[in-house]
């Protein structure tokens, strides 16, 4: 891995730990809350799961931001479109510097769907959270995280291994 991506790699490693914690909470804590009859337990379960989704998604953005800072010089977007542009920039190749895409199209599409959910959770619209939407977005997170891991790990391992625009050595 290129040394310029050292901070991105640390953030990536931390994110993998965070995702593992969210999965552990889903497997160990959420069933306990789900077994309780109190409405407050259901609210707590929904909020806990939504916060986990938002936290991992925000970590994904942090990794992509760090990678893009190194390889493109930053995220090129106006404030109001920053989050969407971050994903779009990571999914597109940068022809100007010969950089291939960082994330695949499928990864991009799933992350873009999670981005909308992140807005609801992050901006404390918890009263709008519904179990069904949290369930759907948790499934998306579990689907996209392994894709993201493969995409980003592959990119970081390949970055700087050859001159841009030149084929990789075989």
10-residue mean pLDDT series, the chain (170 residues): 92 97 97 93 89 94 96 90 94 93 97 82 60 91 98 93 48
Q: Is residue 143 part of a domain?
A: yes
The pLDDT value given to residue 139: 96
Q: Give the Cα separation of 63 and 73 in Å (integer).
A: 14
Q: Is residue 164 part of a domain?
A: no
The pLDDT value given to residue 104: 98
Spell out the residues 6+ positions from residue 151 whose beta carbon is closer than 8 angstroms to its own: 102, 103, 104, 107
Q: Is residue 36 part of a domain?
A: yes
SS3 percent helix, strand, coil of the chain, rounded to 5, is: 75, 0, 25
The pLDDT value given to residue 119: 62
Q: Give the Cα separation of 100 and 3 in Å (integer).
A: 18
Q: Is residue 111 part of a domain?
A: yes
Q: Is residue 165 part of a domain?
A: no
Cβ atoms of residues 48 and 30 within 8 Å: yes
Q: Is residue 133 part of a domain?
A: yes
The pLDDT value given to residue 62: 97
Count of structural domains within the chain? 1
Q: Is residue 169 part of a domain?
A: no
Q: Is residue 113 part of a domain?
A: yes
Q: Which domain holds residue 100?
A: 3-158
């Amino acid at each position: 891995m290129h040394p310029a991506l050292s901070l991105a790699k640390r953030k990536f490693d931390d994110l993998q730990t965070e995702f593992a914690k969210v999965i552990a909470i889903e497997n160990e804590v959420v069933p306990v809350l789900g077994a309780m009859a109190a409405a407050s337990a259901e609210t707590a379960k929904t909020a806990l799961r939504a916060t986990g989704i938002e936290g991992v998604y925000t970590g994904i953005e942090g990794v992509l931001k760090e990678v893009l800072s190194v390889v493109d010089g930053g995220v090129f977007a106006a404030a109001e479109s920053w989050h969407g542009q971050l994903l779009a920039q990571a999914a597109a190749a940068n022809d100007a510097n010969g950089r291939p895409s960082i994330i695949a199209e499928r990864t991009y599409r799933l992350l873009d769907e999670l981005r909308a959910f992140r807005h609801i959770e992050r901006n404390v619209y918890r009263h709008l959270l519904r179990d069904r939407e949290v369930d759907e977005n948790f499934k998306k997170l579990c689907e996209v995280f392994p894709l993201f891991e493969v995409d980003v790990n592959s990119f970081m391992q390949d970055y700087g291994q050859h001159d841009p625009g030149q084929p990789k050595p075989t």
